[in-house]
Amino acid sequence: MPHRTESDSRRLLRRLRDALAEAGAGQERLDRITTIIADSMRTEVCSVYLFRDAQTLELCATEGLNPEAVHKTRLKLGEGLVGRVARNARPVNTPNAPDERGFRFMPETGEEVFSSFLGVPIQRLGERLGVLVVQSKDARTFTEDEVYALEVVAMVLAEMTELGAFVGEGAALAPLHKHPALLRGVCAQEGVAEGQVWLHEPRVSITRLVNDDSEAETARLRAAVEKLRVSVDDLLRVARSADKEHLEVLQTYRMFAHSRGWLKRMEENVMLGLSAEAAVEKEQSAARARLETVPDAYLRDRLHDLDDLSNRLLRLLTGQGNDTGAEMPERPILVARNIGPGELLDYGRKLRGIVLEEGAVGSHATIVARALAIPLVINVPRITTDALNGDHIMIDGSEGQVHLRPEDSVASAFRDKMAMQAKAQERYASLRDLPAEARCGTRVRLMMNAGLMADLPSLKGSGAEGVGLFRTELQFLVRSTVPRRSELVALYARVLDSAQGQRVAFRTLDIGSDKVMPYMKRPDEPNPAMGWRAIRVGLDKSGVLRMQVQALIRAAAGRPLTVMFPLVAQMSEFEAARAILMREMERERRLGHVLPARVEVGVMLETPSLAFAPDSFFELVDFISVGGNDLKQFFFAADRENELVRRRYDTLSTSFITFLQQIVARCVASGTPLSFCGEDAGRPLDALAMAAIGLGTLSMRPASVGPVKALIRRAHLGEVAEVIARAQVRGLETARPALLDYAASLD
Ligand code: PEP
Ligand code: MG
């Protein structure tokens, strides 16, 4: 066997390219390609197996095996050597195939006479499409160069397959990435949606795979890498003051961009005849295949970084930006690795749904998606690699499910679900002007949570009686600079205008924890949720708090004003914050501004400590709103952002309910108005239980008002309280099952 040279590979790639350029049906071309490869590799056999469905490979073309077996021989994923290559996405190279573990003899192919076997995966950016195999009679181990050369050929094949070049009449070719897939993630905003995939960062499409002059192509690659290095260095210079994680990512980018190994591997690809962009993509594919098998999350993140860097390089080489000229589909469902709140706001209400590979339940993007009531599923593995622009996609935010390219039966079941939800929405809409009055005659006040101007049209539509929580930090989060006071005045005034006299509880800035503003320097904290956040920042750096309070006073312009302070842990913090507000009132008065008709100053009860504050605290505050999201995380010592621990503890656990009852009792004793504004208030059963223990005002996202009202109107709060009391007496850990039974018994 003569040694395989670079020029052999280049010649092979050119022949492949020419074969592709010829007219003819897909099958003929594929046959011709196997002939060319067998000839060039000096083997008797070359076969192409492609995925028919996610689990089955089909022999689709062969040179050397029995042609009768084409489109008949099928293998399961993992079955035989071919199945093993497909499953592990790694080559199998053996001089004696029949002796190899897992070998499966397929008599119909006539392959028993062939001893040596080399199979490599056909994959594109981690999408597995099939397996390319060469076999020969003599028992030889293929050299590393040969394996490498066959991988390069497989890469070119992968591109061709995606272009649909082989899909001839009646051929059962269906590359894996075109298969239906059910992907599971985590619910971040409920709701169902159907539409087409719209990639936030569209793939770079590569049309030129083979080079004509390897020297010139290498120079092109090097020039692009140099540009990339300069741009990463520039980014690093600008980002000096950015947060630590951002810097870390950029430093990793820099490390990769300057990595000799990376450039060397790409240069080798070019020397074998690939174009510079195809060479980059081949390395990217290999990295993605490795990514799947790496158990270490940190390393996986680094490989992600390499992936991002490869995309940058591809954009430099092809000159393609994010705007590919593709038109946004009519019902776009955004698919992205991650997205910032500002970018999400740019898309606005156009989006029907959002699917993120990363993301967090409490992230800014999630908060914005909620404000816009767009169904959102996060932590969906592989979505950015599996989904292609325009793919049919259905998402169920409540269940955290994503159906990509669903089969007809799945799609129609899904549509039934959508129709049922739409019907339920209609029912809720019919309740809009009715009070949330239980059977026993007790009325519950349902308010809504808001944070963006975009929320406010919901105030009317949802049937809420006001805004129980206006998260003012969202305005700060979605901008790149601190808003000016005059802007805030205009914004708050608009909020009050559109509330038309209904109460709006403005919560002062709750920054820190996961809500980080790019323009604000922050200390590096080991535990940000329990760190320098919310009112702690407000009191230590009172400039922003003062500015915000001034804006609120001016915006009220004689109307009543409601302000509350977040994460107050002890009485003195409330006193200090209230004193700031009062001083600003006095100052505004001196400056000649009209003061609000009435000012209510309240707190968010978000730390257990505040529930045990002295009686005088309960008398001093005008109202208390329980911030259940934070209160629950501190009560159970379970991070609200951590999916591993968050779900272990139930709001309806008897311990948490008992704690809430103690808060209710203290407020009743002091005559302090009390409400609850955490996310759980929007879950009908949880809301029902809260109302039954005396939390008479609940604030929730607008879409929850209808479902909560519907359940309350069917229930008898005294009976609910009894169900809870029984669970407590019996020493049950949670009252949820009993409450579920009760709700199911209602007509
Ligand atoms: C809460 O903690 O329950 C709350 C309403 O505030 P946020 O979710 O903004 O922390
Ligand atoms: Mg909170």
Average pLDDT, the chain: 87
Please give the average per-residue pLDDT across 515-535, as a whole number: 82
Query: What pLDDT sits at residue 201?
Result: 82
Q: Are residues 576 and 441 in the same domain?
A: yes
Tell me, what's the pLDDT at 436? 97
Q: How sure is the predictor about 172, in pLDDT bands with cuts at 50, 70 and 90?
A: very low
Same domain (yes/no): 705, 567: yes
Q: Which atom of ligand 1 is nearest to the CA of 449?
A: 5
Q: Give the number of the ligand closest to the Cα of residue 361.
A: 1
pLDDT class for 559, splitting at 50, 70, 90? Answer: very high
Average pLDDT (408-430) is: 88
- 432-442 pLDDT, tens digit each: 999 999 999 99
Integer Cα distance of 616 and 655 in angstroms: 26
Q: Tell me: the pLDDT tens digits for 463-494?
A: 999 999 999 987 787 676 788 999 999 999 99
Q: Which residue has the higher pLDDT, 174 or 34?
A: 34
Q: Is 510 in the pocket of ligand 1 (CB under 6 A)?
A: yes
Domain presence at residue 19 = yes
Last residue of a domain, one of 286, 318, 350: 318
What value does the mean pLDDT take over residues 188-200?
Answer: 91
Among the atoms of ligand 1, which is closest to the Cα of residue 362? 8
Question: Is 90 exceeded by the pLDDT of residue 148?
Answer: no
Q: What is the CATH number of the domain that holds 85?
A: 3.30.450.40
318, 343, 359: which is the final residue of a domain? Answer: 318
Same-domain pairing of 171 and 187: no
Here the contacts of 91-98 (C-beta below 8 Å, separation 24 or greater) are 91/118, 91/119, 91/120, 91/121, 91/147, 91/150, 91/151, 92/117, 92/118, 92/119, 93/117, 93/118, 93/141, 93/142, 93/147, 94/118, 94/141, 95/139, 95/140, 95/141, 96/139, 97/135
Per the domain annotation, does 419 fall within a domain? no
| CATH (domain of 626) | 3.20.20.60
Among 317-321, 524-528, 662-666, which is the least confidently predicted range?
A: 317-321
Taking only the tens place, the pLDDT of each residue in 86-130 is 888 889 999 999 888 888 878 888 888 899 999 999 887 667 788
Q: Are residues 532 and 678 in the same domain?
A: yes
Residue 162 has pLDDT above 60, yes or no: no
From CA 191, how far away is CA 51, in angstroms rounded?
33
**Of all atoms in ligand 1, which is nearest to the CA of residue 469?**
5
Please report how many Cα atoms fall inside a 13 Å half-sphere around the Cα of residue 120, on the Cβ side: 21
Those residues whose C-beta lies under 8 Å from the C-beta of residue 631, and which sit 6 or more positions away, are 605, 606, 607, 608, 678
Does one domain contain both 292 and 374? no
Ligand of minimum distance to the alpha carbon of 635: 1
Q: Are 601 and 682 contained in the same domain?
A: yes
Closest ligand to residue 651's CA: 1
Query: Higher-confidence residue: 655 or 460?
Result: 655
* pLDDT tens-digit map of 342-397: 678 778 788 999 999 988 776 667 877 877 889 999 999 889 878 888 899 999 98
Catalytic positions are 364, 677
- Residue that is last in its domain, among 318, 347, 370: 318
* 323 belongs to a structural domain: no
- 469 pocket-lining for ligand 1 (C-beta < 6 Å): yes
Atom of ligand 1 nearest to the CA of 606: 2
Band of the pLDDT at 513, cuts 50, 70, 90? confident
- Give the number of whichever ligand sits closest to the CA of residue 505: 1
SS (H, E, C) 272-299: CCECHHHHHHHHHHHHHHHHHHCCCHHH
Which residues are found with C-beta within 5 Å of the ion, ligand 2? 606, 627, 630
Q: From 191, 177, 63, 42, select the one nearest 122 (Cα to Cα).
A: 177
Return the bridge partners of 356, or none: 336
Q: How far is the CA of 605 from the centre of ligand 1 (A)?
A: 10
580-607 residue pLDDT tens: 999 999 999 999 999 999 999 999 999 9
Spatial separation of the C-alpha atoms in residues 463 and 444, rounded to whole Å? 13
Probe target for ligand 1 pocket from 606, 646, 686, with the most ligand atoms within 8 Å of CB:
606
| Any domain includes 428 | no
Is the pLDDT at 506 greater than 50? The verdict is yes
Residue nearest to atom 6 of ligand 1 (CA): 627
The pLDDT of residue 25: 65
- Asked whether residue 391 is domain-assigned, the answer is yes
Q: Is 262 helix (H, G, I), strand (E, B) or coil?
A: helix
Indicate if ligand 1 lies below 6 Å from the C-beta of 451.
no
For residue 173, what pLDDT is reported?
A: 42
In 10 A of CB 438, how many CB atoms? 22
3-class secondary-structure state, position 514: coil
- pLDDT tens across 6-45, in order? 678 788 888 887 877 776 667 788 888 899 999 999 999 9
Nearest Cα neighbor of 550 from 505, 598, 495, 508 is 508
Q: In what order do the strands lie in the sheet with 332-336?
A: 181-184, 401-404, 392-396, 192-199, 332-336, 353-356, 376-378, 186-189
Q: Is the CB of 629 under 6 A from ligand 1?
A: yes
454 CA → ligand 2 middle, Å: 21
Judge whether 87 and 77 are in contact, CB under 8 Å. yes
Instruction: Say whether both 338 and 231 belong to one domain.
Output: no
> Domain check: are 410 and 474 in the same one?
no
Q: Is the pLDDT of residue 630 over 90?
A: yes
Q: Can you give the residue range of the structural domain that contains 645?
A: 434-745
Q: Indicate which CATH number applies to the domain containing 271.
A: 1.10.274.10
| Per-residue confidence (pLDDT) for residue 363, from 0 to 100 | 67
Instruction: Please check whether residue 1 lies inside any domain of the structure.
Output: no
590 Cα: distance to centroid of ligand 1 (angstroms): 35
CATH number at residue 358: 3.50.30.10
How many domains does the structure of the chain reveal?
4
Instruction: Indicate which residue's Cα is closest to atom 1 of ligand 1.
Output: 627
CB distance 630 to ligand 1 below 6 Å = yes
Same domain (yes/no): 45, 30: yes
| 723 CA distance to ligand 1 middle (Å) | 28
pTM of the model: 0.68
What pLDDT score does 484 carry? 92
Least confident of 23-27, 64-68, 192-196, 526-530: 23-27
Say yes or no: 121 and 37 in one domain: yes
Best residue for ligand 1 mutational test, from 533, 629, 680, 683 (most atoms within 8 Å of Cβ)? 629
Residue 185 lies in a domain: yes
Which atom of ligand 1 is the closest one to the Cα of 473? 9
Model confidence at 175, pLDDT cuts 50, 70, 90, reads very low
Classify residue 175 by burial, with Cβ atoms within 10 Å: 0-12, 13-18, 19+.
Answer: buried
Does the residue 208 lie in any domain? no
Number of Cβ atoms within 10 Å of the Cβ of 215: 10
At 709 the pLDDT is 97
Q: What is each CA distance from 435 to 258, 537, 689, 699, 744, in whole angstroms?
A: 65, 39, 18, 15, 22
DSSP result, 362-383: TSHHHHHHHHTT--EEE--TTH
* 33 & 86 share domain: yes
22 and 106, same domain (yes or no): yes
User: How far is the centre of ligand 2, averaged over its atoms, from the C-alpha of 628 (Å)?
Assistant: 7
pLDDT range class, residue 245, cuts 50, 70, 90: low
